A = this chain, B = another copy of it.
């Protein structure tokens, strides 16, 4: 077990702790550091898999909680797995469902055995445990399963953070024991904003033979000034021979900071969710595409952020689409933002081995 996922180090940054590498998965090799668009329900909102392929994404994230309720993991397994079901033949990582169960569910009860929760769809009662989460992800047949952890809300007391961390540690080996042959599982470090807890957690999780290691609990409403020290402190504590994943992060500058701390993998709803709220990323900052100043603009928002799928469309037309409630508006903004993130990751990878990290930081300083 575990040899389905292999991290290969290609080079390190002369200026930072950033590292460039490759992640070998059952559905191909992914250049690291990389970003995963979020396809919660098995679809990245407004775009098709042909679009994601054209944009160059090699791996997406899907959601165990949502998919297990609808269409159901039994159905997906009968279909041959999530790749077969969705037609996406590149990498898929699923989160464990824990975050959704603990934060989104109408009501839930958590104890050492797992979490009992009500479906947001029909109020029916369900139970999620490390064993059950890994079983579901095994049915989905994804490339990378995430261990079930306890993710405390932010802000929370040191005692709450410690309690959630302890449970996460207790659950870690149960996740591993439940996996199928050839099912790769990543462990998750908790510990809130407390350096000593993060260190303790990194050591505890790293003591188990996970296929990769993630930092959890830093994206849940945590402001930048809390997030950066946690990432900078924790990333270097993770095993060097495995991929390191910062869950749910983030803004372009957050990603650049985390890569500089040694992170290899990212996912975030920002580029896709922001697009549906007509916000588009440019090197001059994130802009509101519905702003009246774009009403008659034919030139791009940012001459340095023009991507093939949108080259033909003017800011004036895209603003009109949003004003008129046309579904093409969110789609075009999503394609733009995903292209921006894809290029960001490409430029990050080049800057690491090209020795041009300071130029990269300068280029994205407003983004």
A42 cross-chain contacts in B, Cβ below 8 A = 317, 320, 324
Known: A79-B298, A295-B71. A317 touches B45 (CB 8 A): no
At the interface with chain B, which of A241-249, A255-263, A327-335? A327-335
Within 8 A of B (CB), among A45-87: 45-50, 66, 70-71, 75, 78-79, 84-87
A48 and B328 form a contact (CB under 8 A): yes
* Cα separation A321 to B70 with both chains bound (whole Å): 10
- Which of B41, B71, B296, B332 makes the CB contact (< 8 A) with A79? B296
B331 and A48 form a contact (CB under 8 A): yes
- Interface 1/0 per residue, A79-102 and B, CB below 8 Å: 100001111000000000000000
Nearest B residue to A332 by beta-carbon distance? B48
- Interface 1/0 per residue, A312-350 and B, CB below 8 Å: 111011001101101110111000000000000000000
Nearest B residue to A78 by beta-carbon distance? B296
* A219 contacts B by Cβ under 8 Å: no
A296 cross-chain contacts in B, Cβ below 8 A = 75, 78-79
CB distance from A105 to the nearest CB of B (A): 17
Known: A79-B298, A296-B79. A327 touches B327 (CB 8 A): yes
* A110 contacts B by Cβ under 8 Å: no
- Which of B41, B309, B324, B331 makes the CB contact (< 8 A) with A46? B331
* Cα separation A73 to B49 with both chains bound (whole Å): 37
Nearest B residue to A85 by beta-carbon distance? B317
CB distance from A330 to the nearest CB of B (A): 7
Size class of the A contact interface (CB-based, 8 Å): 35 or more
Known: A71-B295, A296-B79. A87 touches B313 (CB 8 A): yes
Known: A85-B314, A87-B314, A298-B79. A328 touches B47 (CB 8 A): yes
Within 8 A of B (CB), among A258-314: 295-296, 298, 309, 312-314
A43 and B321 form a contact (CB under 8 A): yes
CB distance from A119 to the nearest CB of B (A): 13
* Cα separation A85 to B318 with both chains bound (whole Å): 10
A71 and B320 form a contact (CB under 8 A): yes
A71 and B323 form a contact (CB under 8 A): yes
CB distance from A54 to the nearest CB of B (A): 11
A87 and B312 form a contact (CB under 8 A): yes
Nearest B residue to A323 by beta-carbon distance? B70
Apart from the given pairs A43-B321, A70-B324, A75-B295, 5 other A-B contacts in the complex at a CB distance below 8 Å = A45-B326, A46-B327, A50-B309, A66-B324, A85-B316
Binding site for B on A (CB under 8 A): 41-43, 45-50, 66, 70-71, 75, 78-79, 84-87, 295-296, 298, 309, 312-314, 316-317, 320-321, 323-324, 326-328, 330-332
Q: 14 A-B residue contacts at CB 8 Å?
A: A42-B324, A43-B326, A43-B328, A45-B326, A48-B332, A70-B324, A71-B320, A79-B296, A79-B298, A84-B298, A85-B314, A87-B312, A87-B317, A327-B331
